Structure 1
Amino acid sequence: MSPARLSDVGIASCRSCGRVVATLRAELSFTPGVEPAVHWYESERQCRCRATRLPRPAALPASVKVRLGDLRAAAAAARPWEELTGRPPLRLVV
């Protein structure tokens, strides 16, 4: 596994109860031109609604794709030892 920078892209909240469901996290490779890997992390899940499902990363809204493009550009311009700082995570309702 190659080293990567981690960046929180969005936080998903439940449409029914309003609690946190998961965090959408991007892994940005130190190698220029490599697409970020996007994953849901449910370690801080507060929602217990059975009907709440997380969308596939490919089915996310355009705002997430724009944020990933911004992160990709920032990662390409940064040195490997520099920390990436971005905007606060998007609020997503699922």
Structure 2
Amino acid sequence: MENGYVIIGIIALLFLSMYGYSYWSVFKEKVRQKEENLKQTEAQEIRRKARIEKQEALLERVRVFNERKKEMRQKSPLLDKLKKQQKVS
């Protein structure tokens, strides 16, 4: 009877090791997939931040351009007056 328990234990251990061996590849694939998803998420975040920085730089250039344009429009009537005065003189 004692040998029966040992044999059953050995068979159970055999089946558990076969299950573990077959599941190991599934486990490794899940871990690899999670790591890949993390890398993709990080890359997307980096691209998003770079896009936001580029957008902010573009908005700053547009703001500066618009300010300069506004200044020129304000100076334009003054320049026209100066030109008219010079022609009259």
TM-score (norm. length: structure 1): 0.21
Structure (1 or 2) with the greater strand fraction: 1
Bigger-Rg structure (1/2): 2
Bigger RCO (CA 8 Å, 6+ sep):
1
TM norm structure 2: 0.21
The structure with more helix, counted as a fraction of residues? 2
